[in-house]
Amino acid sequence: MEDSQQQEFFRSVSEAFERNREAAMQSFELILLGLVIILAAMQAVGYLRRRRGLVLGVEQIAFQRGLTRDELALVLDLARVGGVPPLRLLTHLDVFERVTGKALSGALSVFLSGEPLANQVRRIRHALHFDVLPAHAPLLTTRELSPGTAVHFGANHGQVSHLDEAHLEVELREPVSLERGTTVTLILTHAREARYELHCRLTEVRNGTQLLLAHDEAPVRVQQREYVRAKAAGPIRLVAVSWPGHSIEQREIEGQLVDLSGGGALVTCHTVLPPGVRFTATFSAGEQIFSKLDGVVIATHGRDAGTFELHLEFPRLPPAERERLIGAVAKLQATEQRAARA
């Protein structure tokens, strides 16, 4: 009798513990579920706040620049089909040129409120002040040119007489005989920055001297103007840190110097970096060591199988570092001249 009572007692105690454990587990699960819900809600609120902040930033810039509702709607649509944030489209010239260039060529389809796309893009360009380039800004497209810009067509001289987002008009001094559809090669000097070679398709000739041309969306940068360029040799280490409009992992590249100036360099390497990539460069020249100079890739060309030429520019050097680089180039040039005389 006593054994059965003891067994019953222990069974009741065990069942009580089991019930308590199940209740504790249920309470823990409820607490955990509550924490998950709270974290998810906090993330959603943070996302909505960030999104609202971006929307307000876009609307604020649009208001400050005097964009109309239709123009703002076009900007948002361009950003959507171009796969870029609207704020970057409004604040980064390279992003603006890339997306609008594709839209104007028909590669991207956007909704239009009656007026031609070229007209609206031109007004947005003026509103964002993208029509006035700084003296050292590289020319990304002939849509950035201004009337009055001097051009050369072989030995024939001329100037840009008019342009919009669809066409470029050039007035030559001497008449020419050209067929529609011909690719015309023009040379121009852009501000104080560089000389460019333009390849534009001819759509019409008026009076023999007025050329109506399609825009060149990738002008070829032929020669930098401000700085003497000298032959150079030796290793250079590039660390790519950003590519506007794209995500890029930090990448280290080893290359060889070909030539150098106070504003840039020509480098050969086995890894291609597209134009627009920003980097830091470390190298030695003229008995000077240069470490982590900020630069940007201006152009990339294939040299032979597996080898590429990168045209680099150092647009944001501190004045003292710029002078030191110019001095190193002067030493390289002097060495080159002595070797030529020997």
Rg (CA), the chain: 31
Tokens for 112, please give them.
């239009």
Eight-class DSSP state of 17:
H
What is the model's pLDDT at position 50? 46
Q: How confident is the model at residue 188 (pLDDT cuts 50, 70, 90)?
A: confident
Given a cut of 80, whether residue 38 has pLDDT beyond it is no
What is the model's pLDDT at position 53? 42
Residue of 304 and 332 predicted with greater confidence: 332
Q: What is the mean pLDDT of residues 154-177?
A: 92
Given a cut of 60, whether residue 23 has pLDDT beyond it is no
Supply the pTM of this predicted model: 0.54
Average pLDDT over the chain, rounded to an integer: 82
Distance CA 3, CA 70 (A): 90
CA 17 to chain centre: 67
Give SS3 for 68.
Answer: coil
Dihedrals phi, psi of 316, to nearest 5 degrees:
-125, 35
Residue of 70 and 23 predicted with greater confidence: 70
- For CATH 2.30.110.70, the residue range(s) in the chain are 142-224
Please name the fold of domain 142-224.
Pnp Oxidase; Chain A (2.30.110)
Can you spell out the DSSP letters for 161-230? EEE-SSEEEEEESS-----TTPEEEEEEEETTTEEEEEEEEEEEEETTTEEEEE--SS-EEEEESSS-EE
CA-to-CA dists, residue 291 to 24, 220, 226, 268, angstroms = 62, 29, 22, 19
> Cβ neighbours of residue 328 under 8 Å, at least 6 residues apart?
260, 285, 286, 287, 288, 290
> Cβ neighbours of residue 112 under 8 Å, at least 6 residues apart?
74, 120
Q: What is the mean pLDDT of residues 44-50?
A: 51
Most confident of 21-30, 90-99, 106-115, 237-246: 90-99
Most confident of 8-17, 41-50, 149-158, 295-304: 149-158
List beta partners, residue 279: 240, 295
Given a cut of 70, whether residue 30 has pLDDT beyond it is no
Q: How many CB atoms lie within 10 A of CB 130?
A: 18
Given a cut of 80, whether residue 7 has pLDDT beyond it is no
Pick the CATH number of 229-341 from 2.40.10.220, 1.10.510.10, 1.20.140.10, 3.30.2290.10: 2.40.10.220
pLDDT digits (tens, 9 = 90+) for 208-237: 999 999 999 999 887 655 677 788 999 999
pLDDT digits (tens, 9 = 90+) for 273-310: 888 888 999 999 988 999 999 999 888 888 777 888 99
Q: How confident is the model at residue 42 (pLDDT cuts 50, 70, 90)?
A: low
- For CATH 2.40.10.220, the residue range(s) in the chain are 229-341
What angle is formed at CA 70 by the lines to CA 115 and CA 164, rounded to 5 degrees? Answer: 45
What is the model's pLDDT at position 138? 78
What is the model's pLDDT at position 146? 87
pLDDT digits (tens, 9 = 90+) for 51-91: 444 455 788 888 888 888 888 999 999 999 999 999 888 88
Tokens for 328, please give them.
């190193």
Given a cut of 60, whether residue 245 has pLDDT beyond it is no
Q: What is the mean pLDDT of residues 326-333?
A: 87
Residue of 47 and 212 predicted with greater confidence: 212
